[in-house]
Chains A and B, each alone.
Chain A
Amino acid sequence: MLEIKNLHVKLEEEDKQILKGVDLTVEAGKVHAIMGPNGSGKSTLSYVLSGRDGYEVTEGSATLEGEEILEMEPEERAAAGLFLAFQYPVEIPGVGNMTFLRTAVNAQRKARGEEELSAGDFLKVVREKAKSLKISPEMLKRPVNVGFSGGEKKRNEILQMAMLEPKMCILDETDSGLDVDAMKLVAEGVNALRDEGRAFLVITHYQRLLDHIKPDVVHIMADGRIVKTGGPELALEVEQNGYADILSEVA
């Protein structure tokens, strides 16, 4: 599904190399987790994949279902099936959440040559999905993420994901700042989307989330590289011993 090869990324504005050769392949139907200390480049990886400005790819490639994505516009990547649940979802005053969702869904359908959803059909689907994430109709009316609590913002990300039905879902610390109940809701939302044709890349610090979203593969990222890859047991090891042991072992 997603294949990243020898990806090197520096900041556009300053001479600072952040990703120093990332190799990662996520197969369709699988859940991969990335763990790693703060500042190791996890968010940078997710931003570069989704096309945010400010980074320069100096080497390497990333393909989604065989198609090179690094040259695409962010909206083209989205239409190709990539989705990033932001670590810090953005507030957009003046744009209603519902308008935002409908615009996004229909823009992607249009880009893929599909018919737009009617207002009625759209409303029905949103209401149902929002309900299972405990997002109130009132929250749907409010401007995007404005005045939302941390947990509400993260649930709103999952709602967007559920509406857009992407093929490749990247979740950047979707669990941080969530209480146990909210985390369960988020995990249920993700698990409901698990499917043979869909893959997940879950960035997290905690085993906690991975208790609910069972990963197939766990990667450890440090200083801009994937330094270790293993099964779910790797996450447990991090939970018990921290990163120090793993990092000294690979150093």
Chain B
Amino acid sequence: MAVAQAKLDATEARLAGLTMPEAAGWTKPAREEALARLLAVGLPGRRDEYWKYTRPDLLTAPEPKPAALFDHGEPPVFDEIERLKIVFVDGVFDAAASDPLEGEGLEIARLAEAQGADIHWAKDLYGQLEKDGQDPVERPLATLNTAFATDGVLIRATGKVKKPVSLMYLHRSETSDAVLHHVIRVEEDAELTVLENGPAAARFNKVMEVDVAENGSFHHIRAQGRDHERQAATHLFGRVAKEATFKSFTLTVNGVLTRNEIVLDIRGDDAVAHVAGACVGDGDFHCDTTVFITHDAVNCESRQVFKKVLRNGATGVFQGKILVKEGAQKTDGYQISQSLLLDDDAQFYAKPELEIYADDVACSHGSTSGAIDEEALFYLRSRGVPQADAQDLLVLAFLAEAIEEIESEEIADCILARLEGWLSRHRG
């Protein structure tokens, strides 16, 4: 199908402001190939079916819309956790604020520096999982990222890594436009936890490609905050091998526009993949969670648990698909997306989909949208709990199923504390 000229013009306009790194080294072929793919399809447009509920304009415009900085006065979300910090300020690596890029069972390199080196494991992955994830639905913002990423980290876990690797994205310039690309490989029997937090930039385009080898285990917890005006498009591509575990949780608070795409390819038998998210939005807030999980192996389990609390015109979107390929027998697929609308102005759009080509599978999905339970609210108040506290308690209860997906209690507590802080600032 021919791509509309207007779309190609818009793509050209966006690309005019981007340059491929000069010393792209071994990433060069992948970048050039990505650019060719991008030019063939163009950036997302308003008419695209996959962008029906989210306007891509802010994400594809030649320049980012300036985003004011916001300080809620709370310490950074994972400060209590002992971790290996890697800091990016407006998408630029900050060596002074970061820990040395080393740890037991870990190999870490910056993408910007590694391109000259021969990092064989990453060569096969950079842009590859992104490319695999383009079928059957195109994700051009991720392709743009592969072509033009300025930096990122390459992380290889070869053993059971104790300290989480923590990617912190700080936002200091109101007009920053960051494009980061991370590649992660969890080797056989290895374990790795990756944390991400921060508003990152005025506009942020991020790709994370994660390859989990046999019996490997990958945990990912991210907290997307906090600046109200920031815009972000993120893609998480995962490939999950035999008996491997892949778990990802996302907290989204504030932000005029967030589009989080998660694309998982379950390739090996007996693997487990869980993705979950909690989001709270007040006012000019739009959070789109788009998930595509492909089951291509026997006896695998996937779970999607996404909960959104919206008020005052905030909008939530969930597009979630489970594709069970022929032969992927004994698949156990679960998907739930729910929104709690705290007033009549909040909106939630959900498009849950199942596509199944195997006969011996158990898949279920459900999507609901509802108001606060008035009976429960009265019950709590009749016991002396003030209205605002009672409502917060019910909001947290609503989000609980998603937060329970975080295995580490310590990390879950960080997320809860952040949520409680947000709720206390957004009452009435």
Contacts and interface: CB of A to CB of B under 8 A. Distances in A.
A160 B385 CA distance: 13
Nearest to B395: A94
Interface in B367-393: 373-376, 378-387, 389-390, 393
A104 interface: yes
Interface in A77-130: 77-79, 83-84, 86, 89-95, 99-100, 103-104, 107-108, 111
B384 A94 contact: no
**Chain A interface size, under 10 / 10 to 19 / 20 to 34 / 35 or more:** 20 to 34
Interface in A184-232: none
Contact of A75 (B373, B384, B396, B399): B384
B382 A107 contact: no
A131 interface: no
B386 to A, nearest CB: 5
B385 A75 contact: yes
Contact of B387 (A50, A75, A84, A91): A75
Contacts of A41: none
A121 to B, nearest CB: 18
B353 interface: no
Contacts of B399: 94
B401 interface: yes
B393 A95 contact: yes
A152 to B, nearest CB: 16
Contacts of B376: 90-92
A245 interface: no
B398 interface: yes
Contact of A100 (B380, B381, B386, B398): B380
Nearest to A145: B379
Interface in B70-122: none
Given A90-B376, A107-B389, A84 B382 contact: yes
B393 A103 contact: yes
Contact of A73 (B381, B383, B401): B381
B397 interface: yes
A53 interface: yes
B400 interface: yes
A52 interface: yes
B394 interface: yes
A78 B384 CA distance: 5
A124 to B, nearest CB: 20
Contact of A78 (B382, B389, B398): B382
A95 B380 CA distance: 11
A169 interface: no
Contact of B379 (A73, A90, A99): A90
Interface core residue of B378, B387, B393 (most chain A CB under 10 Å): B378
Contacts of A74: 378, 381-382
B381 A94 contact: no
Contacts of A84: 382
Contacts of B396: 94-95
A36 interface: no
Contacts of B383: 78, 100, 104, 107-108, 160, 164
B380 A79 contact: no
A50 B379 CA distance: 10
Given A53-B374, A93-B397, A94-B398, A107 B379 contact: no
A50 B373 CA distance: 18
B129 to A, nearest CB: 35
A92 B380 contact: yes
Contacts of A86: 379, 382
Contacts of A160: 383
Interface string B387-424: 10110011011111100000000000000000000000
Contacts of A91: 376
A79 B382 contact: no
Nearest to B388: A75
Contact of A94 (B375, B380, B390, B397): B397
Nearest to B392: A103
Interface core residue of B374, B379, B385, B397 (most chain A CB under 10 Å): B379
Contacts of B394: 92, 94-95
Interface core residue of B375, B385, B398, B399 (most chain A CB under 10 Å): B385
Contacts of B390: 75
A104 B384 contact: yes
A50 B382 contact: yes
A59 B401 CA distance: 46
B287 to A, nearest CB: 21
A194 B386 CA distance: 27
A42 B80 CA distance: 53
23 contacts: A51-B378, A51-B382, A52-B378, A75-B381, A75-B385, A75-B390, A78-B381, A91-B376, A92-B376, A92-B379, A92-B394, A93-B397, A94-B394, A94-B396, A94-B397, A94-B401, A95-B397, A103-B393, A104-B380, A104-B383, A104-B385, A111-B386, A164-B383
Interface of A: 50-53, 73-75, 77-79, 83-84, 86, 89-95, 99-100, 103-104, 107-108, 111, 143, 160, 164
